[in-house]
Amino acid sequence: MTEIRWHGRGGQGAVASAEMLALAAIEEGKAAQAFPSFGPERRGAPVMAFTRVADEYIWLRTGITEPDVVVVLDPTVMGAVDVASGLKDDGIIVANTSKSADDLIKKHDLKHTIYIVNANKIAMEEIGRPITNTTMMGALVKATGLVELASVEKQIEHRFPAIAEKNIKALRRAYEETKI
């Protein structure tokens, strides 16, 4: 089983990403769960969402305290929240940043494998807004191979039919531009 914790700010789509990833996994015949965790429910406040993906039925119904993967949708969250808290020793961080992985490691004292992509830049260029959820899903797929990119594209088309094309372009571009 792979457990993922999403970090973002209210209104950035962390909850939508967690749900779309779970649905993409289910589409591929896997078992999956997605659920949010809100603090103060307001736009811009730090939020977390969670996804579990497994090959067999998931009996677990608890929160995720020791994720395998952490996805950071907003780089400012890394200064407000310890995103690596509880992350397994062999876990990975997939971060939206314009900085280098070395800069993040030094600034936040990280000891995990880090995948980086400038999702803000991609989202602005492809979607026209700094909402990075679909962009970061491309980075997550590149980092983990947990689901196929085509399965995520299907979920984007279903959830955002009017703006699917732009979001899929951002997803694909992030997949290509994500670096270890």
pLDDT, tens digit, for every residue of 117-172? 999 999 999 999 988 999 999 999 999 999 999 999 999 999 999 999 999 999 99
> What backbone phi and psi angles, to 5 degrees, belong to 43?
-60, 130
CA nearest neighbour of 146 among 9, 51, 50: 51
Q: pTM (2 decimals)?
A: 0.92
Please report which confidence band the pLDDT of residue 11 belongs to, taking 50, 70 and 90 as the band edges. Answer: confident
> What backbone phi and psi angles, to 5 degrees, belong to 113?
-70, 135
- Work out the number of other CB atoms within 10 angstroms of the CB of residue 76: 12
Average predicted confidence (pLDDT) for the chain: 92
| 8 Å CB contact between 166 and 127 | yes
Please report which confidence band the pLDDT of residue 33 belongs to, taking 50, 70 and 90 as the band edges. Answer: very high
Environment class of 35 (CB within 10 Å of its CB; exposed 0-12, middle 13-18, buried 19+): middle
Q: Does domain 2-177 have CATH number 3.40.50.720?
A: no
Q: Which residue ranges make up each domain of the chain?
A: 2-177
First to last CA, the chain: 23
Q: At what angle do helices 149-159 and 164-177 cross, to 10 degrees?
A: 150
Residue for token pair 């780089």: 75
pLDDT, tens digit, for every residue of 54-75? 999 999 988 899 999 999 999 8
Percent of the chain whose pLDDT exceeds 90: 71
Q: Which residue has the higher pLDDT, 46 or 19?
A: 19
Average of per-residue pLDDT across 40-64? 85
